[in-house]
């Protein structure tokens, strides 16, 4: 029995266990998922400081000519105190001297006899950046399950944190099966074709920051598929393509059966990709994609990506669709949920000119897809659709409804 997309995703999320942990330096942390909470141990800024190159002054000296005795630079440990009738010259980022009530930018002053003339109506605290106004000591900065991007590294560096605990990256093993397949570095005969699924999935899994191993291309025999499975068993996720249908040379699921394969679902109510199968061997997740290239690539985007997110330890582990408007009227055959590739230009979604499960050309033009409901036979120009990006990862903490009604 085929399961719905929602049921398939639920089975994936309930059966996939997050990876174990390790400690790494923050310079290597980009793309990892944090496995601990991080609390600020320093205020930021650490001290009250000047936001401008100018003068530290008292409010009561508004409009007066005041004397200037010294200059403070960023990084100086100046211990003096500001008195009335005086200004201390100060550079941006320098700690303000005791008694400072505001900073006057250089360009707002004029040279006068013995010092500088200050403007009228000075405002208290103007151009002062106060300790802790950005980050307060004790404040929670990051949480377990947050993804480390460049700006999370900023926060860690600001606290002098050199190492963090993260989830290990999922390790993925990939192989394809099919007697007709040759690798791009091999000779291809006129009755054969290049294996395009594995290089595609390999690149995509790397984009999703997994460690990836290419095991090879199996011929359609149980023996050869067994050999490929054995080589893949030390990884966390095994992704195959081909051999999942009902043909006389479709052995993939049978071959996994030898290794204690527990199938979670072996058909999905989706077009293309109905034969997509997901199961597990112990804690290893197995994704058997259909051979048809567009079907394999699109089903990877839904099910492969979900396994990776679920294993990553991320809080925002659910695919999150983006609202777009349909560029043109679009007619389709109802019956099963249809996955439709296209291009999102920031406002409108344009369906690929031609696409079919066995094609590869649509994906190179596309940057996203929509899933039309099984009852949908027409999508009107300008109507709202939910697009799922294939070029960047947009995720949410709660499960999102992906189908466009």
Ligand X SMILES: Nc1nc2c(c(=O)[nH]1)N[C@H]1C(S)=C(S)[C@@H](COP(=O)(O)OP(=O)(O)OC[C@H]3O[C@@H](n4cnc5c(N)ncnc54)[C@H](O)[C@@H]3O)O[C@H]1N2
Residues that bind ligand MOO (CB under 6 A): 271-275, 290, 292, 295, 357
Least separation, in Å, of the C-beta of 160 and ligand X? 49
Name which of ligand MOO, ligand X, none residue 86 binds, using a CB cut-off of 5 to 8 Å depending on partner kind: none
Least separation, in Å, of the C-beta of 274 and ligand MOO? 5
List alpha helices for 102-249, DSSP H: 150-158, 197-207, 222-232
Least separation, in Å, of the C-beta of 256 and ligand X? 13
Least separation, in Å, of the C-beta of 331 and ligand X? 21
Backbone conformation region of residue 17, classed left if phi is above 0, alpha if psi is from -120 to 50, else beta: beta
Q: Say if strands 330-331 and 337-344 run parallel, antiparallel, or are unpaired.
A: unpaired
Give contact residues for ligand X (rule: CB under 6 A): 176, 178, 180-181, 195-198, 241-247, 250, 272, 274-275, 290-293, 295, 357-358
Name which of ligand X, ligand MOO, none residue 145 binds, using a CB cut-off of 5 to 8 Å depending on partner kind: none
CB nearer to ligand X: give 11 or 297: 297
Least separation, in Å, of the C-beta of 228 and ligand X? 13
| CB distance 50 to 91 below 8 Å | yes
| CB distance 237 to 311 below 8 Å | yes
Q: Of 345, 162, 178, 165, whose CA–CA distance to 245 is shortest?
A: 178
CB nearer to ligand MOO: give 199 or 357: 357
CB nearer to ligand X: give 137 or 182: 182
Name which of ligand MOO, ligand X, none residue 244 binds, using a CB cut-off of 5 to 8 Å depending on partner kind: ligand X
Least separation, in Å, of the C-beta of 129 and ligand MOO? 58
As beta bridge partners, residue 211 has: 171
Helix, strand or coil, per DSSP, at residue 67: strand
CB nearer to ligand MOO: give 169 or 274: 274
Q: Of 375, 306, 385, 275, whose CA–CA distance to 340 is shortest?
A: 385
Name which of ligand MOO, ligand X, none residue 213 binds, using a CB cut-off of 5 to 8 Å depending on partner kind: none
Name which of ligand MOO, ligand X, none residue 247 binds, using a CB cut-off of 5 to 8 Å depending on partner kind: ligand X
Least separation, in Å, of the C-beta of 263 and ligand X? 15
Q: Give the H or E element holding residue 238.
A: strand 237-241
CB nearer to ligand MOO: give 58 or 274: 274
CB nearer to ligand X: give 97 or 341: 341
Cα–Cα distance for residue pair 199/121, rounded to 1 Å: 68
Cα dist from 89 to 53, 56, 57, 67, whole Å: 8, 6, 9, 10
Least separation, in Å, of the C-beta of 267 and ligand X? 9
**356's tokens:** 């079919």
Name which of ligand MOO, ligand X, none residue 246 binds, using a CB cut-off of 5 to 8 Å depending on partner kind: ligand X
Q: Of 37, 85, 40, 29, whose CA–CA distance to 61 is shortest?
A: 85
CB nearer to ligand X: give 24 or 188: 188
CB nearer to ligand X: give 225 or 264: 225
> Exposure pattern of 69-103 as b/e (b: 16+ CB <10 Å)?
eeebeeeeebeeebeeebbbbbbbbbbbbeebbbb
Closest CB to ligand X: residue number:
291
């Amino acid at each position: 029995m085929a399961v719905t997309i929602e049921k398939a995703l639920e089975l994936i999320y309930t059966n996939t266990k997050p990876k174990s942990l390790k400690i790494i330096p923050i310079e290597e942390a980009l793309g990892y998922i944090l496995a601990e909470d991080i609390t600020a141990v320093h205020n930021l800024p650490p001290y009250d400081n000047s936001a401008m190159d100018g003068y530290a002054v008292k409010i009561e000296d508004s409009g007066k000519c005041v004397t200037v005795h010294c200059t403070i630079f960023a990084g100086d440990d100046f211990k003096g105190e500001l008195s009335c009738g005086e200004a201390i010259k100060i550079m941006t980022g320098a700690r303000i001297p005791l008694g400072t009530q505001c900073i006057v930018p250089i360009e707002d002053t004029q040279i006068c006899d013995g010092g500088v003339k200050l403007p009228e109506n000075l405002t208290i605290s103007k151009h002062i950046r106060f300790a802790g106004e950005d980050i307060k000591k004790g404040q929670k900065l990051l949480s377990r399950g947050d993804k480390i991007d460049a700006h999370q590294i900023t926060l860690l560096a600001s606290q002098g944190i050199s190492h963090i605990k993260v989830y290990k990256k999922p390790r993925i093993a990939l192989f394809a099966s099919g007697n007709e397949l040759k690798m791009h570095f091999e000779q291809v005969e006129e009755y054969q074709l290049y294996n395009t699924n594995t290089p595609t999935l390999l690149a995509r899994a790397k984009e999703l920051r997994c460690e990836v191993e290419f095991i090879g291309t199996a011929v359609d025999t149980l023996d050869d598929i067994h050999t490929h499975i054995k080589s893949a068993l030390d990884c966390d996720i095994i992704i195959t393509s081909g051999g999942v249908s009902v043909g006389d040379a479709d052995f993939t699921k049978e071959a996994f059966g030898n290794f204690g394969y527990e199938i979670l679902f072996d058909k999905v109510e989706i077009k293309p990709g109905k034969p997509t199968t997901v199961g597990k061997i112990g804690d290893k997740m197995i994704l058997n994609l259909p051979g048809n290239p567009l079907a394999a690539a699109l089903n990877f985007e839904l099910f492969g990506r979900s396994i990776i997110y679920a294993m990553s330890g991320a809080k925002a582990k659910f695919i999150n669709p983006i609202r777009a408007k349909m560029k043109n009227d679009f007619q389709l055959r109802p019956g099963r949920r249809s996955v439709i590739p296209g291009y999102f230009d920031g406002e409108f979604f344009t369906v690929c000119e031609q696409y079919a499960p066995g094609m590869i050309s649509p994906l190179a033009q596309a940057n996203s897809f929509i899933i039309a409901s099984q009852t949908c036979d027409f999508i009107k120009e300008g109507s709202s659709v939910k697009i799922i990006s294939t070029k960047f990862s947009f995720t949410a903490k709660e499960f999102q409804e992906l189908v466009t009604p």
